[in-house]
Homo-oligomer: A and B are copies of this chain.
């Protein structure tokens, strides 16, 4: 197998290549003056088994189109099999029609990725598991909760407790998984979305966090409101230090300030999103998955 680093995930592709001892395919990419994407394989890939690494973090439309164009070219030029690793799978919010007439964005993404020739999709902590059902090809929803937890082992934790910021099944499974790696307790907050305003409120449930290091484990930080609300509750209840470990650190707008002001000591993301908070790599998770060790919650 050979690895293709898409424009959004060059470093991650390099790490996967190093970990597995598999070569990176030489490619050339550029943008034309008008903004159109140009892609070219600099070597023959016909008959090869390929892994395209391209995360779909913002700007999602740009990164998705890049993936589509690379996929199309790989299939057109005779790749034998094409696996896609999109650690952050954009448009995973719209997984069902909450209102009549709505676009099923996740289904469009699935249809195009499959139609353009992907044989399997690997992703990390998808926001909504319903999205996985939209694929006919095998989809592996891996988790970064374990790798994030291992990162915090270096932080000299005192009596740690892992916190899921809401009580949805998937959030709780991730927290439980991280807690197991840390040999720690875990608990969850409750999050409610106002049906009319869409406003999310995190309820101040009683937690046993006094004088303990609390680690919030979540799949995504966008506006940072959920993390900040959770941190305030933990702070109010006497937590010693508060860490936020997140698979996809989108960190939009002034979210970092919001989170740090709420009392969080450190934000830790993964290289699912290429920014300064990518302190944990998802490369080992994918490397293990390709060897058959699928890490899931």
Chain B residues in 8 Å Cβ range of A43: 101
Say yes or no: A91-B36 contact (C-beta < 8 A), given A72-B107, A115-B111. Answer: yes
Residues from 7 to 41 in A contacting B, C-beta threshold 8 Å? 32-41
Task: Tell me how many residues of A have a C-beta within 8 Å of chain B.
Answer: 50
* This protein's copies in its complex: 2
Contact pick for A72, options B40, B76, B111, CB 8 Å:
B111
Residue of B nearest to A56 (CB): B36
Would you call B116 and A111 a contact (CB within 8 A)?
yes
Complex: A222 Cα to B39 Cα, angstroms? 20
Q: Are A36 and B70 in contact (CB under 8 A)?
A: no
| Nearest-CB residue, chain B, relative to A66 | B61
Contact A90 B36 (CB under 8 A): yes
A101 surroundings in chain B (CB, below 8 A): 40-45, 73, 77
Find the B residue at minimum CB distance from A34: B222
A67-92 interface code vs B (CB 8 A; 1 in, 0 out): 01110110011000000000000110
Q: Which residues of B contact A60 (CB under 8 A)?
A: 34-36, 65
Question: With an 8 A cutoff between CB atoms, is A59 at the interface?
Answer: yes
Q: How far is the CB of A7 from chain B (nearest CB, A)?
A: 12
Q: Does A62 contact B (CB under 8 A)?
A: yes
Assembled-state Cα–Cα distance A33/B73 (Å): 32
B40 and A99: CB pair below 8 A?
A: yes
Q: Give A32 Cβ to nearest chain B Cβ, in Å.
A: 7
Provide 25 A-B residue pairs closer than 8 Å at the C-beta atoms, listed in order of the A residue.
A33-B222, A34-B58, A34-B252, A35-B60, A36-B93, A36-B105, A37-B61, A38-B94, A38-B102, A38-B103, A38-B105, A39-B103, A40-B101, A40-B103, A41-B101, A42-B101, A45-B101, A61-B62, A61-B64, A69-B105, A72-B103, A72-B107, A73-B104, A112-B115, A112-B116
